[in-house]
């Protein structure tokens, strides 16, 4: 159910529609729209409408990205309407929606035991049109979300760098609501990156009391919509999918998302410049009755019959000199 009320904003009386919570930042797809569409419920919508909240054609302006500091935290702003954020002129308060507490779907007043948490997930592609649901890995969870307007998310140490940018998404699940999920997509980048490698994300499962939880990298939970669902809901109102321990998600950074002992390969200087890396030539094997051969690399800077100018020549020395001198002569 949507509610309409009025607030004074920049000296004008504007109608403000409320009823649900969303993420607000210039990096969010649809941020520059009507101030409400990106918080609309997604229940029973087709894939093109619920995926990225149907905003893939409304990218951030001026290349806006949200920086995610590996090993640190990022604070995002949550609210029921853009007018309830700092981007809409609000200057104080930490309630995501003062005029409409039920929009948080966790009781009135909000009860901690009814909060079902939020998650941030990342896909290592820089094209939102190529990002698929199964590409996303949940890297941070806040189990008390959406209680506060300013909400902190811890970022795991060692997160690898993006290629210019990555595609990220914010996910939320309410309790006192219809069977529905919420998400917003945004452009992101990793600062202070590491060189760990993310494992392939698996589908999470319900694991009440910590029994049978899926561990390691996990996908976000897609359900209550049409198309590309990965969670089969039991139908029990009190067992809705949640970003908490009952679904295998610990509070804070998800530090188990990486492959054990793996690191990204660091490119050589030649590879970074687009050149082929040098190939090492192994030394020839020594004959059984001869001395150990020595491989010598000589850079020739003068032209000659046998050694063209500026050519690198590899020769083998077996007890005597055998190298190119200036003029191409051999001694």
Give the pLDDT confidence score for residue 284 in this predicted structure: 46
Contact 66, 74 (CB under 8 A): yes
pLDDT of residue 181: 86
How high is the mean pLDDT of the chain? 79
pLDDT at 324: 41
Half-sphere exposure of residue 157, counting CA atoms within 13 Å on the CB side? 1
Give which of 174, 197, 161 is closest to 104, Cα–Cα: 174
Question: 216 or 282, which is more confident?
Answer: 216
Q: 316-328, pLDDT tens digit by residue?
A: 444 444 444 444 4
The rounded distance, in Å, linking the Cα atoms of 216 and 155 is 15
142, 268, 269, 281, 298 from 277: Cα distances, Å: 45, 7, 8, 13, 19
Stronger pLDDT, 150 or 286, i.e. the higher one? 150
Taking only the tens place, the pLDDT of each residue in 278-313 is: 444 444 454 445 444 444 444 434 444 443 444 444
What is the sign, positive or negative, of the torsion defined by CA atoms of 176, 179, 184, 190?
positive
| H or E stretch at 50 | helix 47-50
Please tell me the predicted confidence (pLDDT) of residue 287: 46
Per-residue pLDDT, 241: 92
pLDDT surpasses 60 at 205: yes
- Region of poorest pLDDT, from 34-43, 87-96, 118-127, 134-143: 34-43
**How far, in Å, are 6, 219, 234, 241, 320 from residue 230 at the CA level?**
39, 9, 13, 11, 72
Once rounded to an integer, what is the mean pLDDT over residues 74-82? 95
Q: Please give the Cα distance from 321 to 330 (Å, whole number).
A: 8
**pLDDT over 90 for what percent of the chain?**
54
Instruction: Outline where DSSP puts E strands in the chain.
Output: 3-9, 12-18, 22-24, 66-69, 73-79, 118-123, 137-142, 150-154, 166-172, 182-191, 196-198, 252-253, 258-263, 294-299, 312-317
pLDDT at 144 over 60: yes
Average pLDDT over residues 42-49: 88
Beta strand pairing call for 182-191 and 66-69: parallel
**What's residue 237's pLDDT?**
86
Instruction: Indicate the pTM of the whole model.
Output: 0.74
Closest of 94, 86, 204 to residue 145, by C-alpha: 94
| Of 28 and 267, the one with more pLDDT | 28
Average confidence (pLDDT) over 48-77: 97
Query: b/e map of 216-230 (b: 16 or more CB within 10 Å)?
Result: bbbbbbbbbbeeebe
- Range from 219-223, 270-274, 310-314 that averages highest in pLDDT: 219-223
CA dihedral 105, 41, 240, 111 (to 10 degrees): -10
* Contact yes or no for 134/201 (Cβ under 8 A): yes
Q: What is the pLDDT of residue 84?
A: 94
C-alpha closest to that of 29 among 131, 144, 103: 131
Range scoring the smallest mean pLDDT among 53-57, 110-114, 211-215: 110-114
Specify the DSSP class assigned to residue 324.
Answer: B
C-alpha gyration radius of the chain: 29
101-105, 115-119, 246-250, 272-276: range with lowest mean pLDDT: 272-276
How many whole angstroms separate alpha carbon 270 and alpha carbon 277? 5
Assess contact for 88 and 81: CB atoms under 8 A.
yes
Largest CA-CA distance found in the chain, in angstroms, rounded: 99
Position with higher pLDDT, 288 vs 258: 258
Instruction: Report d(CA 67, CA 159) in Å as an integer.
Output: 12
pLDDT, mean of residues 168-184? 88
Judged against a pLDDT cut of 70, whether residue 11 lies above it is answered with no
Q: Apex CA 154: angle with CA 94 and CA 136, to 5°?
A: 110
Query: Is pLDDT above 90 for 160?
Result: yes
């Amino acid at each position: 159910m949507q509610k309409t009320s009025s607030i004074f904003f920049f000296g004008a009386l504007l109608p403000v529609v409320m009823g649900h919570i969303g993420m607000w930042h210039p990096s969010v797809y649809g941020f520059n729209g009507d101030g409400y569409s990106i918080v609309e419920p997604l229940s029973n919508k087709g894939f093109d409408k619920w995926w990225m909240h149907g905003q893939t054609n409304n990218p951030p302006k001026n290349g806006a990205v949200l920086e995610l500091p590996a090993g640190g935290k990022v604070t995002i702003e949550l609210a029921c309407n853009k007018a309830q954020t700092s981007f809409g002129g609000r200057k104080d308060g930490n309630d995501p929606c003062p005029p409409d507490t039920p929009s948080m779907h966790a009781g009135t007043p909000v009860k901690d035991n009814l909060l079902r948490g939020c998650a941030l997930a990342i896909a290592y592609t820089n094209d939102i049109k190529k990002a698929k649901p199964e590409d996303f890995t949940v890297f941070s969870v806040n189990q008390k979300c959406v209680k506060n307007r300013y909400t902190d998310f811890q970022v795991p140490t060692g997160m690898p760098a993006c290629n210019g940018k990555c595609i990220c998404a914010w996910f939320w699940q309410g309790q006192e609501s219809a069977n529905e999920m919420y998400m917003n997509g945004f452009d992101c980048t990793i600062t202070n990156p590491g060189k760990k490698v993310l494992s392939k994300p698996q589908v999470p499962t319900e694991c009440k009391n910590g029994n049978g939880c899926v561990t390691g990298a996990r996908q976000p939970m897609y359900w209550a919509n049409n198309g590309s669902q990965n969670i089969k809901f039991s139908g029990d109102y009190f067992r809705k999918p949640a970003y908490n321990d009952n679904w295998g998600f610990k509070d804070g950074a998800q530090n188990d998302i990486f492959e054990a002992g793996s690191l990204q390969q660091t490119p050589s200087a030649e590879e970074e410049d687009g050149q082929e890396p040098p190939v090492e030539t192994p030394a020839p094997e020594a004959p059984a009755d001869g001395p150990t051969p020595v491989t010598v690399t000589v850079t020739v800077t003068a032209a000659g019959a046998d050694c063209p100018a500026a050519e690198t020549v590899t020769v083998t020395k077996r007890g005597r000199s055998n190298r190119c001198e200036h003029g191409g002569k051999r001694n």
